[in-house]
Chain A
Amino acid sequence: DTGVSQNPRHKITKRGQNVTFRCDPISEHNRLYWYRQTLGQGPEFLTYFQNEAQLEKSRLLSDRFSAERPKGSFSTLEIQRTEQGDSAMYLCASSSTNYGYTFGSGTRLTVV
């Protein structure tokens, strides 16, 4: 069990550029979640996958955001035309059955 892995750890991008983050969950976990955490706040739910199916999306996930989980393994979160308000920590978590989540270390995005 190597835990949940997220890459990159840090990303600095210019406003208007596209960015993509990757999450590798714990291999036997079929559920994968993305959260966003802004400075001084708790994480907020963005979206959820069961295997390869994206089953729920938060209203926080605007049409500039897209997430995929091909083949039910790793997942990617893409942000198009980044804005300064997108600057945050993006956290991925995975779980199986209903046990508590395991979170990754996150990707910190800074839009300049």
Chain B
Amino acid sequence: AQKVTQAQTEISVVEKEDVTLDCVYETRDTTYYLFWYKQPPSGELVFLIRRNSFDEQNEISGRYSWNFQKSTSSFNFTITASQVVDSAVYFCALSEAVIQGAQKLVFGQGTRLTINP
């Protein structure tokens, strides 16, 4: 069965520090997608990134970067020079194919990130 593990329940850092959120997944599928979402206190899940299982290139978007390593089944997320506005719960998710090409997401338990001024 699909499984996503985010071992870090809570992380607290001081503003401007770099922080890495870990994500480890389990799947028997050869084709899958990995996602990161941000959930601020308002509750909405904000899409950050989707990564195809065949694309192991790291990606950088501003202060955000993602490290996908298929050999260790990990998809870690790093925030550089963190800011107070980055405070949120972050979820890693793995897609699971369902009927007619749709996908349902299997989420980890989330990491609560607090950036202190």
Contacts and interface: CB of A to CB of B under 8 A. Distances in A.
A101 B44 contact: no
Size bracket, chain A contacts = 20 to 34
Interface residues of B, number: 25
B42 A43 contact: no
Interface stretch (B54-62, B68-76, B79-87, B105-113): B105-113
B63 interface: no
B104 A56 contact: yes
Nearest to B49: A100
A56 B45 contact: no
A103 B111 CA distance: 19
Given A31-B102, A55-B98, A55-B102, A106 B43 contact: yes
A49 B24 CA distance: 29
A56 B101 contact: no
Given A43-B107, A56-B99, A105 B44 contact: yes
Contacts of A35: 105
A106 B42 CA distance: 9
Interface of B: 4, 33, 35, 37, 42-45, 47, 50, 91, 93, 98-110
